């Protein structure tokens, strides 16, 4: 289904853009102006999509969704890590 390919592409691209956020955070080694609550919300939504997409028989969206969830989990981890380092 073409709709699944399109949505899966958006999901995959979102994951890649989030990995770019991770790359910049690793480079800068500090967090500024980012709410971890927002990222946790979108990560939770991504986990919901891991259940929802198979119910819709959207395989490509599922795999694209895995990418964004993994990238968001990494992003949350990095934010918490660098905030912890900043407090020391």
Model pLDDT for residues 21-53, shown as the tens digit of each residue: 999 999 999 999 889 999 999 999 999 999 999
Give yes or no for a contact between 43 and 72, defined as CB atoms under 8 angstroms apart.
yes
The domain tally of the chain equals 1
Residue 85 Cα distances to 8, 40, 66, 79, 82, angstroms: 36, 20, 29, 10, 5
Provide the CATH number for the domain around residue 41: 1.20.1280
Domain range enclosing 30: 2-87
Between CA 49 and CA 35 the distance in angstroms is: 22
> Model pTM?
0.92
What pLDDT shows up at residue 60? 97
- Residue 88 — pLDDT band, cuts 50, 70, 90? confident
């Amino acid at each position: 289904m073409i709709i699944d390919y399109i949505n899966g592409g958006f999901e995959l691209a979102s994951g890649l853009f989030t990995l770019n956020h991770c790359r910049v955070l690793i480079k800068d080694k500090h967090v500024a102006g980012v709410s971890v609550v927002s990222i946790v919300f979108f990560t939770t939504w991504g986990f919901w999509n891991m259940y929802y997409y198979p119910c819709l028989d959207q395989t490509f969206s599922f795999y694209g969704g895995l990418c964004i969830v993994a990238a968001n989990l990494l992003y949350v981890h990095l934010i918490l890590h660098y905030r912890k380092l900043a407090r020391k």
